[in-house]
A = this chain, B = another copy of it.
Amino acid sequence: MNPEKLRELLEGVRGGDVDIDSALHRMKGLPFENLGYAVVDHHRAMRHGMPEVIYGEGKVPEHLLGIFKNLRTQSPNVLATRVSREAAELVMSEVPDVEYYPASRVLRVWGDRRILSKGKMAIVCAGTADIPVAEEARLVAETMGNEVLAISDVGVAGIHRLFGHLDKIREARLCIAVAGMEAALPSVLGGLVSCPVIGVPTSVGYGAHFNGLASLLGMLNSCASNVTVVNIDNGFGAAYVGTLINRI
């Protein structure tokens, strides 16, 4: 039951064609989307100027291609994350203007490059091995209309490297801090800026790193009060929340 159907029903009530008890009965289970809610929700991403984002992990190339082409007809910007090279090549062979970033495994069309957010988003990355995750965050953020300041290789074991970028970072409305190993960057950075910091632990490390657990625990226990955390390697999620904050 969509709004049109509901309008018809109400008109039936007004016209006397439908008695109130049967109207009540038909409205009882009233699923949300019948009220148009789902439609609104479905379009929410686009109304916010956010491109649809496809999660490519485990999708067979043909399915990914189908979804990608479909979204491309609706939006100038289309993003897919965690896309295999094989799937990327299939899409690029059929859809024009698609770029593939093999390190982060992001695939996108970036047709509409307007800035939609109100401030800068800093994406600060600890080690060079963390760059793929930071790149995913950057690509998502810029495709969603953020002005992005991307800074790499400023891990805390060479703290002066971070200081060299501090003035610029402090101009951002929010920071995304991407770090593996002991993942101390959000704590140090959090103490140096006044804005919210979203920590993205990465799976970069070995041995007692346990595939990102060490980085995750480090960020969750940050002694800086302005840090929140997303899942390991979840550059997309950090950029998504960052965009929401940056649009406030």
List A residues at the B interface (Cβ < 8 Å): 1-3, 5-7, 10-11, 13-14, 16, 20, 23-24, 27-38, 41, 44, 48, 53, 57-58, 119, 126-127, 129, 155-161, 163-167, 173, 181-184, 187-188, 190-192, 194-196, 198, 201, 203, 205-234, 236-238, 240-241, 244-245, 248
User: Known contacts being A10-B13, A29-B166, A35-B2, is A218 close to B182, with CB within 8 Å?
Assistant: yes
A158 to B98, CA, bound (A): 29
Q: How many copies does the complex hold?
A: 8
A103 CB, min distance to chain B CBs, angstroms: 10
Q: Which residues of chain B come closer than 8 Å to A7, judged between CB atoms?
A: 20, 24
A182 with B231: CB separation less than 8 A: no
Q: Which residues of chain B come closer than 8 Å to A27, judged between CB atoms?
A: 6, 35
Q: Which residues of chain B come closer than 8 Å to A248, judged between CB atoms?
A: 119, 173, 195, 245, 248
Q: List 7 A-B contacts (CB under 8 A).
A: A10-B23, A33-B160, A157-B188, A181-B221, A182-B187, A206-B232, A220-B230
Which of B2, B11, B58 is in CB contact (< 8 Å) with A129? B58
Q: Which residues of chain B come closer than 8 Å to A216, judged between CB atoms?
A: 207-208, 220
Residue of A119, A212, A213, A241 with highest tally of chain B CB at under 10 A? A241
